[in-house]
Structure 1
Amino acid sequence: MENIAIERATLQDVLKLQDIGRTTFGQTFAELNSVENMQKYLQESFSIAKLTEELSNQYSEIYFAILDANVIGYLKINLNQAQTEKLDLDALEIERIYVKKEFHGQKVGQLLYQKAIEIAHKIQASYVWLGVWEENQRAIKFYTKNGFEPFSKHKFWLGDDEQTDLLMKKVLVAPNESEVS
């Protein structure tokens, strides 16, 4: 889909971020979780205050996938101390890649993922990592296809439900190093 633009979100985009965040998270996880837990998570995690804080964090970046002036997906990355797990300061965390359900299978997630990898190379990150719910087979397959491997696990709370995320990482090779071997 060559008409998709990837643009960085700003503080002025907080309502767009809230809308795409709630929509895509709900589409992805509502069937597998209780209504109460989903409502609580969506209300807390996608509140204007929380999203304003995320957009204001100098070590986090959020990008929208835009098609025909509509936000159809988004990416959130974290650097340095903004990472949700304190791993290595030279790593880049992909905290979120979400795409509206009607655009699944159309390479939107891949475009957002490629933006994250582009930034990781630009800042010379040693690796990229993420957490993915162990029940989210679609996402696990996507990240595995892109070269990620599981290395640990951590707990994730959705409302009052304790869930397990697989931590996956991909070690980066400088673009010119792969040509030398």
Structure 2
Amino acid sequence: MVYRDATADDAKAIAEFCARTFVDTFGHLYPPEDLSAYLAAKYSEAMQREEIADPSIRYRLALNGDAIAGYCMMGDLDMEVDDTRALELHRLYVDAHIKGAGVAAALMDDCLAWARAKGAEQLYLSVWEENHRAQAFYKRYGFEHVGEHKFMVGNTADRDFIWRLTL
């Protein structure tokens, strides 16, 4: 596995990977029109290109050969918490066939090192209330459940838990 930062040339592959892993993980939860609207808004190639170009966002890729096997996206805090010295782990996804192989852990370790190097004192993330596997993973890193918020997928509102780690 090779780990590196994303470039604009990766935008199409990232968009495809993001959409596929989101659908694989959560697609069964949503009406098709809500899922389609969400994917178009969040995971288009243009959106990935824009996020990669944003200096406040870091995309880190795990590559198995030329194929994306996992990624994480970090950046400024978007959620409604009052914490000026914090960053947010926006996404961390790994291909289903390699879950448990250490890729998520390597990406998380990189995220934590990056956040510390940026001077963050806290790292936040949100996770769907029923994603127990992800919650167990975050607990192993010392994240604590500190709140909740609505996560919108089209017109569907999910309850996500807000987790925080003191760095």
Separation (CA, whole Å) in 1 of partners of 2:46 and 2:65: 28
**Which letter maps to 1:116?**
C
| 2:78 corresponding residue in structure 1 | 84
**Which letter maps to 2:2?**
A
1:144 aligns with 2:139: yes
Number of positions where the alignment pairs a residue of Structure 1 with one of Structure 2: 166
Query: Which of 1 and 2 has greater Rg?
Result: 1
1:124 aligns with 2:131: no
1:45 aligns with 2:23: no
Q: TM-score, normalised by structure 1?
A: 0.86
Separation (CA, whole Å) in 1 of partners of 2:18 and 2:133: 18
Assess if the C-alpha contact under 8 Å between 2:126 and 2:162 holds in 1.
yes
Which residues of structure 1 form unaligned runs of 5+? Answer: 173-181
1:67 aligns with 2:64: yes
- Percent identity (aligned): 30
Which residues of structure 2 form unaligned runs of 5+? Answer: none
| 2:23 corresponding residue in structure 1 | 26
Q: TM-score, normalised by structure 2?
A: 0.93
| 2:97 corresponding residue in structure 1 | 102
Quote how far apart the aligned CAs of 1:89 are.
Answer: 3.2
Describe the SS at the equivalent of 1:84: coil
Separation (CA, whole Å) in 1 of partners of 2:9 and 2:40: 20
Superposed CA offset, 1:97-122 (max 9, x none): 00111111111111111110110121
Moved over 3 A (4+): none
